[in-house]
Chain A
Amino acid sequence: MSLFAAGLLPYFLIVEPGVSELFFTQYGYAAAVLVSAAGIYWLWWAFPSGTSRGRSVVAGFVIAWPVTLLRLIGVPLLLTSSDKLLYLVWYGTLGLIVVPLLAGVVRSGPGRRGLWVRLLLITILGASAFNVPLDVVPHLVRASRNGSLYVHGGTGLTAAMYRGLEWIRQNTRSTDVVAVSNYSVDANHPEYDDIYYSAFAERRVFLEGWRYGMKTLRLGPHYHISRMNMPYPECLRLNDAVFQRGDRAALRVLIRDYGVCYLLVDRVHYGKTAKVSALGRRVFSNSDVAIYAVRG
């Protein structure tokens, strides 16, 4: 329980980008489950199970409760989309079920308390067991139906782009550094999050999306990412000079100081070959990507 208490502290005291402070709590939670499992077990078995009729009631409730809960969740959704009404119905009904069960536990005699305790445990654990399936399953079904299961929020990785990155992986040295023309997965809503190049080419990139850069993360959870206040301004200036103006001096710096060997123009997201084609020798090209060797 000390671990659980220690895990809760960061939840109240710390803020981290991506709500990562919750991981502290999750580890404490795992430790607490080991203790609470014993509590649940002893609660279940601490009181006599009662008559065979009582046991039948428990067995029936195990089956009936999930069905009832699904109805309780689904029917109001057909009638209204108002948050306040839905929460009132959902959590109000849950409360209306839990409170009498709790009263039953407190007020019943030792002979029947076991039945009430078990019904209460089934109610609470059953409701908590629905959390993840309700989060995941409806979305999976919906996304599969409308074709957005794995295509959303920008273009991401196309098959042709992947072939280009695969070419780099198979035909360059692992020490080679690549410079790329684009920083965002979605050109219309730039979030500087395109890090597919280093992931699928398996090469270091001079500068790609900097959302997960360590200097970016250090700026804290309230930092609003943009080009204007990016934490690697010199890299951005040099990269833009090469890909937007075809600046040979900037390219020389990239080659000399950063070991850049290849320029990758991303035709899907952002990048034009016109400014770059004169800077190096084209070694790979398809509809989505063009790669130029600029060294050796």
Chain B
Amino acid sequence: MVSVEHSRNRRRTTLSGRVGSTSAPILFVLLCAGVAWLATGVGLADIGLFLVYELGFVVAPGWIVYGILRARSGALERLAFGWALGYALEIGAFALTAALDVRSLFFAYPAVVGAVAIWRRPSLGSRSTEPAAPDRRWSWSVAGIAALAVVAVAAALFPPNPLPGAVSRVTYFLDNVFQISVAAEALHHWPIKDPTVAGEPLPYHTFVHMHVAAVAQTTGIAVPTLVLRLVPLPMVALFALQMALAGMRLGGRRSIGLVAALVVLFSGEVDIDPRDGPISLPFLGSFPVGLWYSPTFLLGLVFFVPLVTLLIDLVADREGRTDLGNWTLFAIFFAGAAGAKAAVPPVVIAGLALFLLTRRRVDRVSAAALLLSITIFIGFLATMYRGGNAGMRLDLSARALGHASQLVVDAPSWLPPAPRRRRDRGRIPRSLRRTTQWSRLVRRPAFGVETRLRTALVPVRRWTPPLLPDRGARGQ
């Protein structure tokens, strides 16, 4: 009797420990986001409505369906990747109801998923190959990283973008206005067209705009509040969690997951010039900038990380994971990524092809993954992108050696002029001779790196976020 009582107590303690080890860190991240929202003009009612929506229309459906499709997944995986699945399902439900002109039925979407849950009864990690709950220290470390990322994004995005009507005048970064405009279009019209030139088609990746429209339609929260405040923060926190989980899965150690999340969120190119803003070559520092200024990029990341993890499970690590559920998940994540950001499918398809090439043998699973990816991509090319290439041009000498080449191109102005005659060569110090020859080479009009670099930077300088103007350039 004493033994049974002891066992019950132990079970209760373990359960409460598990709940405590995951829910308290989540609440901590939520608290950070909540404070950031409240401090920058979002009403308490809007925050409450948004969180209820996020839970009922995104996280819970994703959790349930992920559990059905991948029964062996642990709680952490179901949260991190199921949440992303929830975005895909919610966007799909919104698009379907909008296309059929029965938008009011979207309210019933959580109920439909609930009915599926009752029918299929997904078990919470009963066959999981992973621990049901991560250890306390790891959970808090991930929460710390996610909270820091949330605060950083809020600090960079919120102050320069006051909510409309809150200040006497404001100039927004043009991309943000465009996102609001397309989200408003998705809220009121179907199919989505270009709202800035009435009647023109909009061959563009619009999943994030559909998500914003779905929240606005259901909760009544204003579109600018969603785009400029509410929507990005949960995605940033989710991305941090996904990177930690994916790093842990791939590296085989929990600490590796933490390193992955830290590196991707907080390290960039070694650019220590504080005057430039993040537009310095070679990579323009645009990874972190994308987190707060490109919701399409951010949603693309949220689909990309589970997609990569699943791809590795399918292609590299068999272990019986090539069942229909995993293929379904792969297809959904790929479609989600394709609809969120058109840059994802080419990277995944070319990466898979490269993987097959380097292996020098075609195995059934890799070829199937490639074929499925290409099929979905073609579907998106035909329906969503419709030939739109956003002005992309092939340019073989596009950016040559990035920042390094620019430094070399700039170098000639610091150096003594190149000699005009062969006999003058002796006057140039031997140490400078090679540099000067190189500088003459790169200055030849046919090479044109300098011109290309400067031309490439014109749009960046024009459209640089107001937060991060480069020296001497006029902000947007």
Contact = CB atoms under 8 A, between A and B. Distances in A.
Interface string A80-124: 000010110011001000000000000000000000000000001
Given A37-B256, A41-B259, A138-B274, A193 B165 contact: no
B288 A27 contact: no
A130 B155 CA distance: 16
A174 B188 contact: yes
Interface stretch (B46-54, B230-238, B260-268, B435-443): B260-268
Given A185-B171, A205-B198, A150 B394 contact: no
A84 B322 CA distance: 56
B395 A13 contact: yes
A150 B168 CA distance: 11
A202 B354 contact: no
Contacts of B392: 14-16, 20-21
B128 interface: no
A139 B393 contact: no
B256 A258 contact: no
Contacts of B101: none
Contact of A38 (B161, B251, B352, B394): B251
Interface string B438-476: 000000000000000001100110110011110000111
B476 to A, nearest CB: 5
Interface in B271-291: 271-278, 283-288, 290
A195 interface: yes
B4 interface: no
B468 A3 contact: no
A93 to B, nearest CB: 10
Which of under 10, 10 to 19, 20 to 34, or 35 or more describes the interface residues of B?
A: 35 or more
Contacts, number: 362
Nearest to A23: B343
A30 interface: yes
B391 A136 contact: no
Contacts of B353: 6
Contacts of A77: 274-275
A134 B469 CA distance: 13
A31 B351 contact: yes
Contacts of B288: 131-132
Contact of B347 (A27, A174, A177): A27
A218 B389 contact: yes
A187 interface: no
B268 A128 contact: yes
A153 interface: yes
Contact of A151 (B170, B195, B255, B352): B170
A67 to B, nearest CB: 14
A151 B476 CA distance: 10
Nearest to A26: B287
Given A37-B263, A94-B272, A200-B164, A28 B250 contact: no
B66 interface: no
Nearest to B281: A19
Given A37-B259, A38-B251, A195-B174, A213 B194 contact: yes
Contact of B184 (A86, A128, A134, A202): A202
Nearest to A258: B198
Q: Is the interface of A mostly helix, strand, loop or mixed?
A: helix
Nearest to A202: B184
A129 interface: yes
Interface stretch (B55-63, B87-95, B298-306, B422-430): B298-306
Nearest to A157: B170
A6 B272 contact: no
Contacts of A29: 264, 283, 287
> Taking each of B223, B294, B300, B354, which has the highest tally of chain A beta carbons within 10 Å of its own beta carbon?
B354
Nearest to A4: B351
Nearest to A224: B458
Contact of A23 (B224, B259, B297, B389): B297
B256 A153 contact: no
Contacts of A157: 164, 169-172
Contacts of A218: 388-391
A13 B394 contact: yes
Contact of A24 (B159, B162, B170, B347): B347
A69 interface: yes
Given A90-B272, A191-B462, A219-B391, A19 B284 contact: yes
Contact of A152 (B250, B396, B475): B475
B165 A163 contact: yes
Contacts of A51: none
B180 interface: yes
Most A CB contacts (10 A, CB to CB) among B164, B264, B344, B407 go to B164
Max chain B C-beta neighbours (<10 A), residue from A5, A149, A214, A259: A214
A25 B156 CA distance: 23
Given A24-B343, A131-B267, A15 B224 contact: no
A159 B167 contact: yes
Contact of A195 (B178, B203, B246, B348): B178
22 contacts: A6-B348, A6-B350, A14-B398, A16-B392, A26-B297, A27-B300, A30-B287, A30-B308, A33-B247, A33-B263, A37-B263, A38-B250, A38-B252, A94-B270, A135-B277, A136-B155, A193-B174, A193-B476, A195-B177, A199-B195, A213-B194, A215-B197
The 4 closest A-B pairs by CB, nearest first: A156-B171, A131-B268, A6-B350, A37-B260
